[in-house]
A and B are shown apart, each in its own frame.
Chain A
Amino acid sequence: MKITTTLVTAATLCLAVLASPLAAQDATPGAGFYNALKGKKIGFVPIAMGFNETQAWRTAMERQAAALGYEIIVRDPNWSIEAGIQAINSLIDEKPDILIIENIDNRSYNRMVQKSIAAGILTIQTQQRSEIASDAYMGPDWNEMGRNAVDGMVQLCGTDSGKNGKIAIIQGALTAPASLLQQAGIDEALKAHPEITVVSNQAADWDATKAYQIATTVLQQEPDLCGIVGFWDVADAGIASAVKEANLQGKVAVITSGSGARDSACDKIASGDFTFYTSYNTAGQGRDLNAIIRTLLQTMPAPGSKPFDLLSPLIRITKDTMTPSSCWTLDELAQIGG
């Protein structure tokens, strides 16, 4: 009896000892989560700070970093590829746990992405993808953005609308995936819509003044134009100005897309400047980035071993579908973002 009791006691003790790590984890839920994130270092090289997308990501990421005790280091190359490469190089030397790179085009940072992975740093690419896969890509599916623009064209200028289907396209920078892939998406989707004719296709280099100039010329040349498609709301403010100036607001549709920031999107949809807007919702993207950071830091895969995409869900906004929560502001993000 005694032996049995001793054995049972010993076995219970053994089990208790063996099970103790599990029990400890249960006792303070999330300890592993907090430990995985605390004190970590995350580098971020945007195209430039100071515009809606990058400011929103930064705000969201810094809110989470402050709450969970890790650090975000931002290096701003201000639209310069050379400065961007320097910034990435210096960050790689500082060995952050994660490096987030916003590509300026599809090639320039290829070697940098490779180098970062080779240096053992988990590497995330945002918004535009380079030709090299890394641990994660967060951003829109630009082809889908193009298909959305075509849906806008068909809805506003297609057969059912009773309009003539004449469209002008004003792209961004011709080397940017955001422009290239969006145009490819448009070309593909337009095959099913012969009633839409593209009468002009120009690049405005993401610049509002250039977009304005191209739009005024095209409106002059094609007085019966049905719609103008732009690739970025910030630049397409210029298209809206040209349409307003020609007294064609309400007659010529402005189809555009972007971050869904209140000042560049909803305000302009409400005022009639933009007719059809596709938002990749940068507020949601900030949350996505934070989710990628939390996941990678807990799972710690070997850098580059398990690449995945987190494509941004798109939101279509028109005057009729717009709600108070269709857009976001930086002040809101600072309070509730991420």
Chain B
Amino acid sequence: MTRTRSKLTQGRIVLAIAIIAFATFSLLVPGFLSAGNVSRLLQNVSILGILAMGMALSIIGRGIDLSMVASMAVSVAWMLAEMNAGASFAHAFGYALIFSIAVGLINGVLIAYVEIPPIFATLAMGTAIYGFGRVFLLASDVNYLPDSWAWLNTLATAAPLGIPVSVLCFGAVCGIGHLFLRRAREGRYIYMMGDNPQAARITGVPLRVMIVAQYVLTSLVALTAGLLMAALVATMNTRIVGSTYVYDIILVAVLGGISLSGGRGGAGSVIVGTLLIGILLNGMTMMNLGYTTQNVIKALILLAALIMDSLVNPRDEQTSQQGDI
């Protein structure tokens, strides 16, 4: 699996851009560098970061999960709806957990056994999950955290030792993700599947089972992010399914150096990608730049990162993989 690669990996380029952006905002925007703002900055992107870690799991194994946002929104909205109907926390959470695992299983089976390409299987599943949720589970798009469960909001907005709970969650998910990918045998399998699925199979990786496991994991990470989101803003609006949020998630993952063709990158890539987006969003909001201006600047910086990677690490016979996009 060793490749001839320059030391300037995409992850490092993006890290450098993040540091430059951070330094620029620190000089230009008063208050940007304060401890409080840095923790807010991290907090605002921690949910996106957690989702990107989940997405990373499926992308590294040469998959992709476009149903992630739907799975997150519908399972958590269902949980809130059950809570509003008077169910206990364990009961309501149990429903969400079962729903989330079921979504992962169906995704995995469709991809591993029915052999539908992941991009189509999960695209269709996303729509199916939302439709199922809206027709059978949810009376309304917007579901509020009931007042009797306000402690969840208190818990999510706490900041022990000055670090917001959501940042701690992001750290924990990345930490567990890192240990799983680098230390666990199943984690190594995911890299092997991403690098060359056929070779992995020949060397004894239980390919189909691993694919199913991979999508269940991604769906569970989505549930974690959804719980945090609902607890933070005390509501879950399933309309998020129709938004472009899933592309933001993919962007964060890919930006940090997780190749869409699989087998490359890790938790570090997710952290770097999340940091850059967080710094840009926070700094531009503080500069009070308009919505469209913000989008243009964000897009230009992302393009710049991709162009630099392409210049520093050109694709050739040695670096490209079978099935590279």
Q: Is the CB of A202 within 8 A of B141?
A: no
* B239 interface residue (CB < 8 Å to A): yes
Most chain A C-beta atoms within 10 Å of own C-beta, residue among B140, B147, B229: B140
* B206 interface residue (CB < 8 Å to A): no
> CB-nearest residue of chain A relative to B286?
A221
> CB-nearest residue of chain B relative to A267?
B147
A241 to B228, CA, bound (A): 13
Q: Is the CB of A50 within 8 A of B140?
A: yes
Q: Is the CB of B233 within 8 A of A241?
A: yes
Residues on B with beta carbons closer than 8 Å to the beta carbon of A200: 285, 288
A237 to B239, CA, bound (A): 15
> CB-nearest residue of chain A relative to B29?
A221
* A245 interface residue (CB < 8 Å to B): yes
A206 to chain B, nearest CB (A): 8
Q: Is the CB of A80 within 8 A of B144?
A: no
Q: Is the CB of B285 within 8 A of A202?
A: yes
> CB-nearest residue of chain B relative to A222?
B31
Given A217-B282, A271-B147, check contact A202 B288 (CB 8 Å).
yes
Q: Is the CB of A241 within 8 A of B240?
A: no
Give A40-61 interface residues, CB cut-off 8 Å to B: 48, 50-52, 55
Given A55-B140, A241-B153, check contact A213 B286 (CB 8 Å).
no
User: B242 is contacted by which of A52, A80, A234 (Cβ under 8 Å)?
Assistant: A80
Q: Is the CB of A79 within 8 A of B242?
A: yes
> CB-nearest residue of chain A relative to B41?
A217
* A36 interface residue (CB < 8 Å to B): no
Residues on A with beta carbons closer than 8 Å to the beta carbon of B44: 213, 216-217
A267 to B146, CA, bound (A): 10
A238 to B282, CA, bound (A): 16
Q: Give 1 or 0 for each of B128-169: 1 = CB within 8 Å of chain A CB.
A: 000000100010111010010000010001000000000000
* A305 interface residue (CB < 8 Å to B): no
Q: Is the CB of B285 within 8 A of A214?
A: yes
* A295 interface residue (CB < 8 Å to B): no
* A163 interface residue (CB < 8 Å to B): no
Q: Is the CB of B144 within 8 A of A48?
A: no
Q: Is the CB of B40 within 8 A of A207?
A: no
Q: Give 1 or 0 for each of B271-293: 1 = CB within 8 Å of chain A CB.
A: 00000000001100110101110
* A276 interface residue (CB < 8 Å to B): no
> CB-nearest residue of chain B relative to A244?
B157
Give A233-281 interface residues, CB cut-off 8 Å to B: 234, 237-238, 240-241, 244-245, 263-264, 267, 271
A220 to B147, CA, bound (A): 26
Given A209-B233, A216-B40, check contact A263 B144 (CB 8 Å).
yes
Q: Give 1 or 0 for each of A189-226: 1 = CB within 8 Å of chain B CB.
A: 00000000001111101011100111011101100000
Q: Is the CB of A264 within 8 A of B144?
A: yes
A65 to chain B, nearest CB (A): 20
> CB-nearest residue of chain B relative to A213?
B44
Q: Is the CB of A241 within 8 A of B144?
A: no
* B243 interface residue (CB < 8 Å to A): yes
A118 to B297, CA, bound (A): 44
* B221 interface residue (CB < 8 Å to A): no
A161 to B286, CA, bound (A): 27
Given A50-B134, A216-B44, A217-B286, check contact A208 B37 (CB 8 Å).
no
> CB-nearest residue of chain A relative to B229?
A209
Closest 9 CB pairs of A and B: A50-B141, A245-B157, A203-B291, A213-B44, A238-B233, A217-B285, A208-B233, A241-B233, A220-B40
B residues in contact (CB < 8 Å) with A: 31, 34, 36-37, 40-41, 43-44, 47, 134, 138, 140-142, 144, 147, 153, 157, 229, 232-235, 237-240, 242-243, 281-282, 285-286, 288, 290-292
Name 12 interchain pairs, CB-CB below 8 A, sorted by A. A50-B138, A51-B142, A55-B140, A207-B243, A208-B237, A217-B40, A217-B41, A218-B285, A221-B31, A221-B37, A241-B157, A264-B142
